[in-house]
Chains A and B, each alone.
Chain A
């Protein structure tokens, strides 16, 4: 067996170790390389920035703990920004397995920003039906969520004053890890009920949402951990996402080097086979 062949059949535990080290070392010894802000992330930030105080902002936390590393920092950064702008923040989820996590997230950031539940923000929780929930919210919010996640009636909450349906929402951001997520909010929500929509998603599904972005169907897109890091920089409050960017840089580079090596060995094997054949 040639050297190239041996290298191509390398024990995968060595690759696992390389990736593990590339993740761990930058977290222990951060470098802090500068992060450039993209126009997609700035789209969401600028829209929230120009919203007048007490405007209605809906954040739909459409992910579960599996996508927490990428989407949790996005949610924290957006909530901090919305609370700082004194917006009325209405949160909810379309993913049943994300309900507990979403409640903790909203409560934690609201407490940190000194906001009061029912007056400055609310967490509506989850309701069965998937995309039907979006249509129902567009028809009547109180019919869809008669009470919030804590069991308090939604009708009469100061945070929802003057809000009857999605038509009364000034801006909605869906942080989605799949379906239902950003696309469902456009198809079943924005298209009919005419509110402004922004999106956030995991890095894997971000390329799939670019057509919506380019056509103006969503006004901004926060993609993956990188997007979250950009948002943290925009609000001037660095957090988990910025801390994770060095690790992501190192792992990306490691994968590129591995793919490069694999191709070098592959071509050297092919040349060797040709020589032997000729």
Chain B
């Protein structure tokens, strides 16, 4: 049993990891075919993950409704929205429009999902302005540098800013192209090296937390 629970997954991980790390550098048709098959599997698994995600969501909210936890009414709305959308989606065969005419599923998408998502994003502008007013203060030297950089970039990114302070456009480009790009690149290199190290640890079985914490 230990072999099935511990050693076999570690073996599969090691072989798959090494094969696909090497595959990148082997342009032979057979190697490419292996990649094609594997990514096709990944797409199929991705489809299953979607089903798993929806099932899990249903399960969590069903428990909330059953126990009448705080905010259980929202879970009922979620159930109604999801079941309703699935029903109209199946009814319309997944099509949002047929020969230019919107289906019920298209109606749900266009007149519910699009405006709701747009509204959520749009109200961010109001909250950001309010939060900036309350908390964007030059409490320290570092905060002052951040504040000045933010003001320059905000001015330089809009025509009115460039009109009022003509050099703000070039200054903002310099901040983005030089200061921002170099710091981001340093972070990216650090993260990438960390990812390589973690991948090697997983491939060679040093890092095993993904196997779960079951007793051997």
| A contact set with B: CB distance below 8 Å | 8, 10, 12, 15-16, 18-20, 23, 33-36, 38, 64-69, 97, 99-101, 103-104, 127-130, 132-133, 135-136, 139-140, 143-144, 192, 203, 206-208, 210-211, 213-215, 224, 226, 245-246, 248-256, 258-259, 261-263, 266
| B180 touches which of A34, A130, A207, A261 (Cβ 8 Å) | A207
Complex interface: chain B residues within 8 A of A254 (CB):
129
Q: Is the CB of A259 within 8 A of B160?
A: no
Interface string of B109-134 (1 = CB under 8 A from A): 11001110110111001101110111
Contact partner of B113 (CB less than 8 A), chosen from A35, A65, A143, A207, is: A65
User: CB within 8 A of B132: which of A65, A69, A144, A258?
Assistant: A258
- Listed A/B pairs (27) with beta-carbon separation below 8 Å: A15-B130, A16-B129, A19-B125, A19-B126, A19-B129, A23-B125, A35-B159, A68-B117, A69-B121, A99-B96, A128-B46, A129-B45, A132-B43, A132-B46, A136-B39, A140-B36, A144-B43, A207-B176, A207-B180, A210-B180, A213-B181, A245-B158, A252-B157, A255-B129, A256-B154, A256-B155, A261-B133
Would you give the 0/1 interface string for B172-184, flagging 1 where the beta carbon is closer than 8 Å to chain A?
A: 0100110011001
Q: Pick the residue among A15, A16, A100 that contacts B110 (CB under 8 A).
A: A100
Residue of A8, A206, A246 near B134 (CB, 8 A) is A8
**DSSP class of B's interface residues: helix, strand, loop or mixed?**
helix
7 pairs of A and B residues whose beta carbons are closest in the complex:
A249-B160, A129-B43, A33-B159, A132-B42, A128-B46, A129-B46, A139-B36
Could you tell me the distance in whole angstroms from the C-beta of B128 to the nearest C-beta in chain A?
Answer: 8
Does B154 lie within 8 Å of A252, measured CB to CB?
yes
- The tally of CB-CB contacts under 8 A between chains A and B is 163
Q: Of all chain A residues, which has the CB nearest B45?
A: A129
Residues of B within 8 A of A (CB): 24, 32, 35-36, 39-40, 42-47, 49-50, 96-97, 106, 109-110, 113-115, 117-118, 120-122, 125-126, 128-130, 132-134, 136-139, 147, 150-151, 154-155, 157-163, 169, 173, 176-177, 180-181, 184-185, 188
